[in-house]
């Protein structure tokens, strides 16, 4: 991936625009709706109008990590989120394997020989909420895969590093003067987490769409099969993330 470093950021730098995705802890105040992979939150500001897939995405999407000044706290946040993202990435091949065992006859009744989504009435009682969440995921995917992305790492509201990702994979970096090695390392970690998130959300979207199309052709209407598969993949990711969080951390 081509990289380049542009002139230094002026100091003190402020965030360029309102972020679309904010890296933080799951309980972060001000988050709107479920976080992407439990990591990236959307500020409660209507940036992600659920289901507006026909609305063009902004040309540049801002991913922002506002880290605490404490090096230990920042390190823990980045380590926790990295583990969540890796678990989500590792869950997708397993989800694909399990979905490949599905047969139309086995879907409603937990029949032996394959995984099952459970009875349809398990879902119908909360269909509206589930559909809104699935629509929000696909809208987040649309924004996350915008041709250009800006990644900012801030400490106490001050931008210390900024990267511009273009459609061809090139990266332009800019940093504050007198950047410390620790700050540079933190920004590199944030940038890597954005790239992993973009790859995973694309793989998840393709998996959901292809699996739902396969099921819909023989057993379900399109929207219902899409919702079934979305919830199946979502729940498997959460299960594997929970298992990973329970494992001893590697220092």
Quick one: three-class SS letters along 228-247? HHHHHHHHHHHHHHHHHHHC
Is residue 91 in some structural domain? yes
pLDDT at residue number 158? 87
Q: Whole-prediction pTM value?
A: 0.79
Q: Which of 129-133, 145-149, 242-246 has the highest mean pLDDT?
A: 145-149
Given a contact cutoff of 8 angstroms between Cβ atoms, the answer to whether 20 and 47 are in contact is yes
> Widest CA span of the chain, in angstroms?
64
Mean of the pLDDT values across residues 219-238? 82
Q: Give the contacts of 77 (CB within 8 A, at least 6 positions apart).
A: 23, 24, 25, 67, 68
pLDDT at residue number 14? 44
Question: In angstroms, rounded to a whole number, what is the distance separating the alpha carbons of residues 44 and 29?
Answer: 9
> Is the pLDDT score of 93 beyond 90?
yes
Count the domains in the chain: 1
> Is the pLDDT score of 23 beyond 90?
no
pLDDT at residue number 84? 94
Mean of the pLDDT values across residues 22-27? 63
The more confident residue out of 10 and 36 is 36
Is residue 58 in some structural domain? yes
CA 125 to chain centre: 27
Domain that holds residue 39: 3-246
Is residue 75 in some structural domain? yes
Mean of the pLDDT values across residues 91-98? 94
Is residue 251 in some structural domain? no
> Is the pLDDT score of 50 beyond 90?
no
> Is the pLDDT score of 69 beyond 70?
yes
Each residue of 168-207: pLDDT tens digit?
A: 888 999 999 989 999 999 999 999 999 999 999 999 999 9
Mean of the pLDDT values across residues 77-87? 94
pLDDT at residue number 42? 81
Is residue 170 in some structural domain? yes
Question: In angstroms, rounded to a whole number, what is the distance separating the alpha carbons of residues 39 and 15?
Answer: 20
Question: In angstroms, rounded to a whole number, what is the distance separating the alpha carbons of residues 49 and 45?
Answer: 10
Mean of the pLDDT values across residues 147-158? 89
């Amino acid at each position: 991936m081509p990289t380049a470093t542009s002139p230094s950021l002026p100091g003190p730098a402020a965030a360029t625009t309102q972020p679309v995705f904010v890296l933080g802890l799951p309980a972060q105040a001000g988050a709107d709706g479920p976080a992407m992979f439990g990591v990236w939150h959307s500020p409660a500001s209507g940036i992600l109008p659920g289901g507006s897939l026909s609305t063009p995405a902004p040309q540049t999407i801002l991913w922002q990590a506002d880290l605490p000044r404490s090096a230990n706290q920042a390190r823990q946040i980045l380590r926790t989120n990295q583990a969540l993202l890796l678990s989500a990435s590792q869950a997708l091949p397993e989800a694909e394997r399990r979905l490949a065992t599905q047969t139309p006859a086995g879907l409603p009744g937990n029949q032996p020989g394959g995984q099952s989504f459970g009875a349809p009435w398990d879902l119908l009682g909360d269909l509206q909420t589930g559909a809104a969440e699935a629509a929000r995921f696909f809208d987040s995917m649309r924004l996350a895969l915008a041709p250009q992305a800006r990644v900012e790492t801030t400490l106490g509201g001050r931008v210390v590093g900024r990267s511009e990702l273009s459609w061809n994979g090139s990266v332009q970096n800019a940093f504050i003067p007198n950047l410390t090695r620790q700050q540079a390392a933190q920004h590199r970690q944030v940038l890597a987490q954005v790239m992993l998130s973009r790859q995973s959300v694309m793989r998840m979207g393709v998996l959901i769409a292809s699996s739902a199309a396969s099921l819909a052709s023989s057993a379900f209407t399109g929207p219902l099969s899409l919702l079934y598969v979305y919830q199946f993949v979502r729940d498997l990711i959460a299960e594997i993330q929970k298992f990973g969080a329970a494992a001893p951390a590697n220092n």
